[in-house]
Amino acid sequence: MAEFPHIEYDIQVPYCLRVFFTKNAFRVGNPLFRDLACSQENGARKKTLFYIDKAVAATHPDLAGDIESYFGHYQEDLDLRGIHFPDGGESLKNNSGCLDKIYADIQRHCICRHSYIVGIGGGALLDVVGFAAATAHRGIRHFRLPTTTLSQADAGVGVKNGVNFNGKKNFVGSFAPPFAVVNDFSFLKTLPDEHLRNGYVEAVKVALIRDAAFFDWIETNVDSLNQFEETVMEELIHRCAKLHVAHIATSGDPFEMGSVRPLDFGHWAAHKLEQVSNFEISHGAAVAIGIAIDTIYSVEMGYLEKSSASRVLSLLTRLNFRIYSSLLEKRGDRGYPLILEGLEEFREHLGGRLTITLLKNIGSRFEVHEMNEELVLKSIERLKTLA
């Protein structure tokens, strides 16, 4: 193309992905949020609009009052414009009206690019609020305060956001690093056991693709994790979040322009299973099954030792995850297994060639560009027997 007259400049946009750890972020006396908000120097009081997952607000009845007191205490610096309480969970991502509602709030509360939008909730709420913030006025700075183990360890600490469209996961979304992530462990106290557990599976995932020592650590700490011991859960979240952020920051492809997405190990099947279940199966539960499928498939293809696969399945089972669902056998009108459609949908979502991460060892992954459908189905059969 050099022979054509053209104008070309490199544009480099520096981003900083930062995750802070604290407890009771909005207790007066905890300066973290105020200091972060004021780190953007323009002198003005920082207009801030909150979205709190309704389930979080219901289980933390003092939270909204604490935020009001906090903003009252720091009123020279902070300007509270409103607190809204949308329903959290996947139904929010499936609700096509939710974005319009947030855009209308942003307009009504005069939120500008120098203001902040704060999402407090599970990964689903953060995905929706993050997308609205990334697109209103072409980008408003947003804070994420994840309130589930899964979102503190994974979903909330990355650079992606999105909503579902026509039943397809994350079909509409953007890459927009948050202004800051604040992992406040005190939110986890009210999280139901099922959701406390869900974060563990993303830790198993990232350990499998990046960090064998972390996998060993999870194995050693299964009992404490099953008892939801605070310090052990907090360490798991910290290590898992660090591995995710390190991968995004250092892999050379933070906005996924290529096709390699190791952090989505096990996710091609998981996303399809969530959809086939009509989102009755949670993301965490689906990822456990997705990891189990790709682990067995890695053995079937001769890449991974059977003994390593046994360790993976045994760890998932000991953490009380199911490794099989009868929905994996569901077939479409023409008799084609629905789960296999997940491969093409995954490819389409990424663009380019199909790229699936598999294991050659615990802590060591590689990519393939095709999946043998018969062996995928055989792997699922094998899981059925094992389950």
Ligand X SMILES: NC(=O)c1ccc[n+]([C@@H]2O[C@H](COP(=O)([O-])OP(=O)(O)OC[C@H]3O[C@@H](n4cnc5c(N)ncnc54)[C@H](O)[C@@H]3O)[C@@H](O)[C@H]2O)c1
Site residues, ligand X (CB under 6 A): 53, 55-56, 59, 88-90, 93, 121-125, 127, 147-148, 150-151, 154-155, 158, 160-161, 169, 187, 190-191, 195, 198, 283-284
State in angstroms the smallest separation of the CB of 302 from ligand X.
30
- 3 state SS of 261: coil
State in angstroms the smallest separation of the CB of 300 from ligand X.
27
Is the CB of 141 or the CB of 382 nearer to ligand X?
Answer: 141
State in angstroms the smallest separation of the CB of 305 from ligand X.
29
Count other C-beta atoms under 10 Å from residue 68's C-beta: 13
Which long-range contacts does 96-103 make (Cβ < 8 Å, 24+ apart)? 96/163, 96/165, 98/128, 98/163, 99/128, 99/131, 99/132, 99/135, 99/163, 102/51, 102/128, 102/129, 102/132, 102/136, 103/132, 103/136
CA dist 120 → 27, 155, 334 (Å):
15, 13, 43
CA-nearest of 231, 55, 83, 222 to 147 is 55
Is the CB of 46 or the CB of 271 nearer to ligand X?
Answer: 271
State in angstroms the smallest separation of the CB of 93 from ligand X.
5
Q: How far apart are CA 169 and CA 174, in angstroms?
A: 13
Provide the β-strand partners of residue 21: 183
Whether the CB-CB separation of 345 and 168 falls below 8 Å is answered with yes
Is the CB of 125 or the CB of 140 nearer to ligand X?
Answer: 125
Is the CB of 53 or the CB of 294 nearer to ligand X?
Answer: 53
Is the CB of 124 or the CB of 362 nearer to ligand X?
Answer: 124
Determine phi and psi for 50, rounding to 5 degrees: -105, 145
State in angstroms the smallest separation of the CB of 268 from ligand X.
13
Is the CB of 55 or the CB of 309 nearer to ligand X?
Answer: 55
* H or E element, residue 168: strand 168-175
State in angstroms the smallest separation of the CB of 60 from ligand X.
7
Biggest alpha carbon distance in the chain?
Answer: 66
